[in-house]
Structure 1
């Protein structure tokens, strides 16, 4: 009889240990325990590499809100979360995040339109400067041709002057005076043409500097447009993902996993059998 009772006590101890270990394993595996929630919250599943910080950035658009999750979940350690666990997210905060993101998106789109207008104006300014530079270069070409003709004429006048001077007669003296007057007029025309060429050259230089500055502005605006387009695309994608998630989350509530259900069942069964054996021992002892 004593041997039977000793065996029963050993079995009882083993069942109690099994029950206690089951409770321990169950509690240890539940690093995140979501609270009961209604339509104002949703459950998400943790994936490899997730952190509360990153999840709040993804779903709430503010990583600093991670402490708010403790209102909807119990954490054994908020810094240790594992793939496969479920986390309850407040839909209201997610909706607010979406609203804020959409407002930001509208502002970005408005800024993008302003940049496009500014870009078009800058490109028009650049095209105008290029046309003006082309016209100035054409005018300079004409003036240079005129200058060449004047210089050739002056050379001819000088040759004629030399020939008249060598003749030494009275008629030559009158012709010489006329040639001198013509040479003076040609020299004045040459001076005026050179002055105009200098002014045109300065204008071309200024226009080219303005064109280069405008091109730099255009390049900067194009970079800003590219950045805004990428940001708008990313924000729109994130907003659509959160909206789909909110839509899919309607009516979703936490369901215990099969493994947890089995563990709870075994734990309960072990405790029940232990209680039965304890009662049996007590009854025989009497």
Structure 2
């Protein structure tokens, strides 16, 4: 039973393979390209072994995706199957456009090439200039190296001198330290004397302040006495003025009286004035 099933399966597989091969052969035999009538805008090419519509469009139209446009000038039973020896019509206008575009690209490339040549010449000139500058820099570097070497030698000499100076500085430092300590002691002693002198000046200042206060008080008393003296002088001036008035009045009376009477009146007036002045003087002293 199993043998029969296996034999049946083998027979079915063989029949399936034969049918598939027959279909491929029939399909291949039916694939054909029929170019349209001749046209000025197209050209006829012969397909060679290994060609495909994709590659032919890439070669003649510079765009493999335009293979579908070939159906405008050809009839395909199966565009995916083409065979060597078949003829295919290609649009010339597209090819001319492609050629023109390529020529324009070539012109642009030539212009770019000329520009690149000009840039190259400029770069060459710049390179020569840079080489000259580099050579000059190298010369400067050589000079700087010589100066650097001289500076290093000078630095070495300075370091040796510095070591000698440091040794001398140690000896000098001890001497300077002793001198500074002596100066510090002297300064402290002077400061002590200054403190004593400042204290003495403070005491003298207090004494001067007390003397100034006493002098101020004395000045105030003298000012009071001067004010009193001025008042007395003013009173005396008033008395003199009154006596002058009295004498003036007495003079008018004397002119009318006789000479004896004039003498009597004069003496009486003088006695009255002297008495009045004495009274004022006595009154001023008693008020003091």
TM-score using structure 2 length: 0.41
Considering Cα pairs closer than 8 Å and 6+ residues apart, tell me whether 1 or 2 has the greater RCO: 1
Name the larger-Rg structure: 2
Provide TM-score, normalisation by structure 1.
0.41
